[in-house]
Chain A
Amino acid sequence: MTAFILRRLLISLVLVFLISLISFFIITLTPGSPYPWGELNPKVSEEVKRVFRAKFHLDRPLHEQYAFIMRDLFTGELRSIKDERPVLEKIGERLPATLVLNLGALSLSLSFGLMLGIYGARHAGRPPDMVTSVLAFTFIALPGFWVSYLLAIGLVNYAAVPILGTHTIGVAFSSGAEVFLDRWWHVMLPASILAIGGVAVQSRFIRASMIETLREDYIRTARAKGLDENTVFYRHALRNSIRPLITGIGLLLPALISGAVIIENIFAYPGIGRLGYEAVLERDYPTLVALNLVTAMLVLLGNLVADVLYAVVDPRVRLE
């Protein structure tokens, strides 16, 4: 087990290096520049430009720029071009909100996906399965921003569901429990919309996994023993088909973070997706490099956790 984790960590280090290269070159190899005064502004003197370039190491060759950015990033010294605050600090204050949002979306995806998948597998090849299949693909095909707007109209007009921010503004709650509930009440809507695609993807995986398990010999044995179909289905088959619940953590995470970029903007939710969009608008290179790096590393971490969990849950998996 320890050897496995160590080996995975080593591969992850290689991946982190590749990830950092990709996020750096995506930003630097694209044309245009991050100068806050605009590329060709004649009013800015050469001296100012020189000082600015030197400050952000833009006057160095590419490989040195990369080295500087990575050194600054890991020492926490990398600063945003826009407001000169440390990038890690900016990301740090936005990250918890996004984690809560994604955690909500992930648990909704896994639980509802499980239910839909089980239902589909139970009726495999018959009309109810066809209906859930089409439903699942409809969920995947739904543009999140469109659903958000449609739901927002309906909810604003007919229900008191909050559609902005992370908490009720201007209300002083007396207890921590109320603050906590208020937070979750605000996360509910964006998390549900974010989870729509995840539910569908997850249900497809669960369904496929269950159908495969139902072909196993021990299922035939169980039926031959005269066990009723429910016992066979939920006790024998389901337990051996929940692998996608764990692999789903690693698989859904990138899609959820991608979706969060749009959803956080619509619901004025202060997470890293919104920070990313703001950085894109401002051409804030250091923040963009750091954000791409941090989100990719989050996904990497998710995959690592999923792999380890997988081995813990399923004794058939042998770790080398």
Chain B
Amino acid sequence: MITTTPEPLALAAASPGRRVWRRFGANRVGMTAAFMVLLLGLIAVVFFILDFFGVPWPMDPNATNLERKLLPPNTTNLLGTDNLGRDVLSRLLNGAYISLTVGFIAVFVSLSIGVTVGAVAGYFGGWVDNIVMRVVDAIMCFPSFFLILTAVALLGPSIFNIIVVIGLVSWTGTARLVRAEFLTLRESAYVQAARALGQRGPKVIFRHILPNAAAPILVTAVLGVPEAILAEAGLSFLGFGVQPPQATWGNIIADGKTYILDAWWLILFPGLAILLAALSFYLTGDALRQAVETRSERQ
């Protein structure tokens, strides 16, 4: 049986935006996940800066030491060493910013395309909408990872290509969502009023409709980040990700799979990192979605 707890008066009186944030704050799972996301972001930034200035901490992620290869977790190397004697913990921390960078920029690319295409299709409707949405349907038929793999492999694996290709392949969901929002919002009274006052296309789209569609777009953005992180990990695993010696979570596993029966720590820890990162983003996104949607659920 579903029970909806009536909201306190103070909450109902607050502005919609503030209400969303309060609801989000009340979701313990979501708050924990959001905290994890912030922590990951912090780790990524700190280790990007360390890497940029060449500070080897806790150890140099690329320094090989063949006398200390394939050591299980110990006091010097907390998560063990790989087949070249590199410190796994250092490589994991160093790889964090690659994963997050890929996640965020790929989502930025896909949002830019998706929002533009969806806005154009939804605002103008008619044959524009028809053509654009058939193209979206066609792209959605492709198994996305295979398409990404094909394109990245042919272009040559580099972090730039990976980001662009993931972004170019994954904008279709956003486009559909934004189009649907626009189809309903463009009939609303305030948009009609803006049009009656003589405002034209771009201004109506960006000034009046888009801000009101911001909430669901934000949710898809947050849910898009882990998709991109997992896609990059998969590519790295197949050897088409960011190239060695740069450590990424995916290629540590790919390198470690040869030693799978002797060195479980090479597989376990980077996988946990991927899982934890992706899970944090998914749970944050889901909590955000709940906070945004409660409005419609209460009716």
Which of B52-60, B77-85, B135-143 lies at the binding interface? B135-143
10 example contacts (A-B, Cβ-Cβ < 8 A) are as follows A18-B138, A27-B150, A130-B29, A134-B283, A141-B278, A143-B274, A214-B2, A254-B140, A276-B149, A292-B142
Asked whether B134 lies within 8 Å of A143 as measured between CB atoms, the reply is no
Q: A32-B154, A146-B270, A292-B142 are in contact. List 11 more A-B contacts (CB 8 A).
A: A15-B137, A22-B142, A133-B286, A138-B279, A143-B230, A143-B234, A146-B253, A283-B154, A296-B138, A296-B143, A300-B141
- Quick one: closest B residue to A122, CB to CB? B1
Selected contact of B233 from candidates A19, A130, A143, CB within 8 Å: A143
Q: Does A280 contact B (CB under 8 A)?
A: yes
* Minimum C-beta distance from A197 to chain B (A): 9
Q: Does B261 contact A (CB under 8 A)?
A: yes
Neighbouring B residues of A247 by C-beta, 8 Å: none
Asked whether A137 lies within 8 Å of B150 as measured between CB atoms, the reply is no
Number of B residues whose C-beta is below 8 Å from A? 48
Asked whether B3 lies within 8 Å of A125 as measured between CB atoms, the reply is yes
Selected contact of A255 from candidates B143, B154, B156, B250, CB within 8 Å: B143
Asked whether A15 lies within 8 Å of B134 as measured between CB atoms, the reply is yes
Asked whether A215 lies within 8 Å of B146 as measured between CB atoms, the reply is no
Asked whether A296 lies within 8 Å of B142 as measured between CB atoms, the reply is yes
Neighbouring A residues of B150 by C-beta, 8 Å: 26-27, 276, 280, 288, 292
Binding site for A on B (CB under 8 A): 1-3, 29, 134-135, 137-147, 149-151, 153-156, 226, 230, 233-234, 237-238, 240, 250, 253, 257, 260-261, 264, 267-268, 270-271, 274-275, 278-279, 282-283, 286
* Minimum C-beta distance from A220 to chain B (A): 11
Asked whether A27 lies within 8 Å of B234 as measured between CB atoms, the reply is no
Neighbouring A residues of B275 by C-beta, 8 Å: 138, 141-143, 146
Complex-state Cα separation, A30 to B140, whole angstroms: 21
Q: Does A113 contact B (CB under 8 A)?
A: no
Complex-state Cα separation, A137 to B283, whole angstroms: 7
- Quick one: closest A residue to B250, CB to CB? A143
Asked whether B282 lies within 8 Å of A141 as measured between CB atoms, the reply is yes
Asked whether B154 lies within 8 Å of A262 as measured between CB atoms, the reply is no
* Minimum C-beta distance from B273 to chain A (A): 10
Neighbouring A residues of B237 by C-beta, 8 Å: 143, 145, 262
Chain A CB within 10 Å — which of B134, B142, B147, B250 has the most?
Answer: B142
Q: Does A100 contact B (CB under 8 A)?
A: no
Q: Does A259 contact B (CB under 8 A)?
A: yes
Asked whether B260 lies within 8 Å of A299 as measured between CB atoms, the reply is no
Neighbouring A residues of B142 by C-beta, 8 Å: 19, 22-23, 254, 292, 295-296, 299
Q: Does A58 contact B (CB under 8 A)?
A: no
Asked whether B2 lies within 8 Å of A149 as measured between CB atoms, the reply is no
Q: Does A176 contact B (CB under 8 A)?
A: no
Q: Which of A289-320 contact B (CB under 8 A)?
A: 291-292, 295-297, 299-300, 303
* Minimum C-beta distance from A141 to chain B (A): 4
Asked whether A296 lies within 8 Å of B253 as measured between CB atoms, the reply is no
**Given contacts A143-B275, A211-B2, is CB(A257)–CB(B143) below 8 Å?**
yes
* Minimum C-beta distance from B195 to chain A (A): 30
Q: Does A246 contact B (CB under 8 A)?
A: no
Selected contact of B271 from candidates A137, A143, A211, CB within 8 Å: A143
Neighbouring B residues of A19 by C-beta, 8 Å: 138, 141-142
- Quick one: closest A residue to B280, CB to CB? A141
Asked whether B143 lies within 8 Å of A299 as measured between CB atoms, the reply is yes
Q: Does A51 contact B (CB under 8 A)?
A: no
Neighbouring A residues of B134 by C-beta, 8 Å: 11, 14-15, 18
* Minimum C-beta distance from A138 to chain B (A): 6
Binary per-residue interface labels of chain A (236-264) against chain B in the complex, 1 for a CB within 8 Å, 0 otherwise: 00000000000000000011011101100
**Given contacts A146-B267, A149-B253, A280-B153, is CB(A140)–CB(B282) below 8 Å?**
yes
Asked whether B156 lies within 8 Å of A134 as measured between CB atoms, the reply is no
Q: Does A153 contact B (CB under 8 A)?
A: yes
Asked whether A149 lies within 8 Å of B260 as measured between CB atoms, the reply is yes
Neighbouring A residues of B282 by C-beta, 8 Å: 137, 140-141
Complex-state Cα separation, A134 to B153, whole angstroms: 34
Q: Does A39 contact B (CB under 8 A)?
A: no
Chain B CB within 10 Å — which of A27, A229, A280 has the most?
Answer: A280
Complex-state Cα separation, A278 to B271, whole angstroms: 25
- Quick one: closest A residue to B5, CB to CB? A125
Asked whether A299 lies within 8 Å of B267 as measured between CB atoms, the reply is no
